[in-house]
Chain A
Amino acid sequence: MAIEAIKVHDLSKHFGEIIAVNNLSFDVMQGEICALLGGNGAGKTTTISMLLGLLIPSSGAINVLGSNMLLDRYRVLPRINFSSPYVDLPKRLTARENLMVYAKLYGVNNPKKRVESLSSDLVIDQFLDRPFGELSSGQKTRVSLAKSLLNNPDLLFLDEPTASLDPDTADWIRSYLIRYQRNYGATILLASHNMAEVERMCDNVVMMRDGSIVDRASPKALLTKYGRNNLEEVFLDIARGHTKNGEVQMGDSQ
């Protein structure tokens, strides 16, 4: 029987008058790769922040790996991790020092060995002893990804995991993540603007607009539903408020 790795119920976040996330409800099953898609300001980062416990919701419930994230997040945090190109690691520390610190924070056994093994896997060993701030954005993304895998997480949150990477490296990273997911049965929730990436990697897609879920299905089912050839066209339809075959929704000005 499939068990939910993430269970979100009626989740909302208001910043004063602004509604960032509005009554969100969705599940992600264990071992699934699920994408959160939406334009800028759709509420993806706010949702991931709440799932990580970095942001306290205005209302609603979050259950992650069987624990209530609002009451018991410290039971779950050692089993999850995240990577985002928009959240840095200390710039003056070398990549190795950063990874060592985080390995210890996550209680990794034999952190030195783990850092070396991940560095070799993600091919970051050539610049491991350079300050993080001096790395290119592609190198930073890879180090950040290594950080997110230090504790072999059961649940991995990835915010644009291949941003700033060249197509070859990006493709390699995608394969690596898929392999990781298969080997460890991990669950991955990723936010991405790269539709080809989502089509290739994800079992399910949650489409968001203005803080709400507007659709949810597998990439294949969405293509069929919207009568489109690729997910990018579906994304544009949803982001612009269109429905099947690009028709404009009632009340939509576009």
Chain B
Amino acid sequence: MTGSLQRSYFSVRRVAAMVLRYFYLLRGSIARIVELAYWPTMQMLIWGFMSQFLYEHSEWFVRAGGVLIAAVLLWDVMFRSNIGVSISFLEEMWSRNLGQLFASPLRPYEWALSLLTISAIRTMIGILPAALLAIPLYHFSIFEMGFPLIAFFLNLLIFGAAVGLAVSGLVLRCGLGAESLAWAVIFAIAPLSGIYYPISTLPNWLQPIAYALPSSHVFEGMRAASIEGIFLADRFVWSITLNILYLILGLCAFLYAFRVARHRGQLLQMGE
């Protein structure tokens, strides 16, 4: 009955099956889909009006154009990507489904890849309406950034997901009592990322820590692209290099936690 009884180290079909599982979940609730777009849109509206106000009262903002709106949209990419991984992961714990999943041929890294995929889809659903709405409301199109926008978007998507994987590993290790970490950890990274201000604003001792995060390079790059119209290739290289490192670390943390869960018998027990 099964298509192949050979051991396969990686199966696109299994990853697609898990993406389908999260798609079914999303499709089953209009409220969930609306909620995905609701928060980014509200954020964009607040910061959009704030930008308009500052534009009228600050010379810097006259030059900076829609830098605040771009910042809020890109921050939301990172946040949504992080939440997308964590929430999809938590869904399995809430529904006590881990035992069923891992008695099947699904491998943990295939599951991790499906979490990254669905997180990217959720992020797109969340951000796109806000980005489109900014065009008629504030005459600001983030899409005018062109290639740099793709670079920023992908980097933040990967970084948010890497943090999401590490946090998911932590929740797997500590149990649902640590569930709030899924929302909290990314906010600890936000002040160091220089979302709304240059990294030079931070105290000197904090700046090296900030530059160890890919997100700080992305937001510095975004400001350069928005204000000066230049693409900082070195920032891009830094962010992509750091992202590869963080993604490997996030995946290792996740797989390690999974291994520990198999030792402790948590795959069958965890849930609400």
Contact = CB atoms under 8 A, between A and B. Distances in A.
Interface of A: 13, 15, 45-46, 49, 52-56, 72, 74-75, 77-82, 84, 86-94, 97, 100-102, 104-109, 114, 131, 147, 150-152
Interface string B168-188: 000000000000000000000
A84 B11 contact: no
B63 interface: no
Contacts of B92: 90
Contact of A108 (B3, B24, B25, B91): B3
Q: What 7 A-B pairs have minimum CB-CB distances, sorted nearest first? A: A104-B17, A152-B1, A87-B99, A75-B7, A107-B3, A90-B95, A88-B96
Interface stretch (B74-82, B100-108, B123-131, B218-226): B100-108
Contacts of B142: none
B25 A90 contact: yes
B24 A53 contact: no
Given A15-B264, A55-B267, A106 B100 contact: no
Contacts of A109: 1-3
A168 to B, nearest CB: 27
Nearest to A67: B7
Nearest to A81: B103
A74 B7 contact: yes
Given A72-B7, A88-B271, 18 more contacts: A15-B264, A45-B268, A54-B267, A56-B263, A74-B105, A80-B103, A87-B97, A88-B97, A92-B25, A92-B28, A93-B28, A94-B28, A104-B17, A105-B17, A106-B105, A107-B13, A150-B1, A151-B1
A247 B11 CA distance: 57
B18 interface: yes
A46 B13 CA distance: 30
B4 interface: yes
A89 B97 contact: yes
A101 B2 contact: no
Nearest to A149: B1
Interface in B234-272: 259, 262-265, 267-268, 271
19 contacts: A54-B265, A56-B259, A74-B9, A77-B104, A79-B5, A87-B96, A87-B97, A87-B99, A88-B95, A89-B100, A90-B21, A90-B92, A90-B97, A92-B95, A102-B17, A105-B14, A105-B105, A107-B3, A107-B11
Given A52-B103, A74-B7, A91 B2 contact: no
Interface size class of B (residues with CB under 8 A): 35 or more
Given A45-B268, A89-B95, A102 B24 contact: no
B1 A147 contact: no
Nearest to B4: A107
Interface core residue of B2, B102, B106 (most chain A CB under 10 Å): B2
Nearest to A13: B265
Given A49-B268, A74-B105, A88-B96, A108 B28 contact: no
B264 A101 contact: no
B265 A49 contact: yes
Contact of A102 (B6, B13, B25, B104): B104
Contacts of A75: 6-7
B20 interface: yes
Contacts of A84: 99
A108 B271 CA distance: 28
A49 to B, nearest CB: 6
Nearest to A157: B103
A109 B3 CA distance: 5
A29 B207 CA distance: 65
A152 B2 CA distance: 8
Contact of B268 (A15, A54, A114): A54
A249 to B, nearest CB: 30
A74 B103 contact: no
A107 to B, nearest CB: 4
A104 B13 contact: yes
B69 to A, nearest CB: 35
A49 B263 CA distance: 11
B14 A91 contact: no
A101 B18 contact: yes
B1 A55 contact: no
A74 B107 contact: yes
A150 B11 CA distance: 18
Given A46-B265, A55-B267, A72-B7, A78 B20 contact: no
Contacts of A91: 95
A82 B103 contact: yes
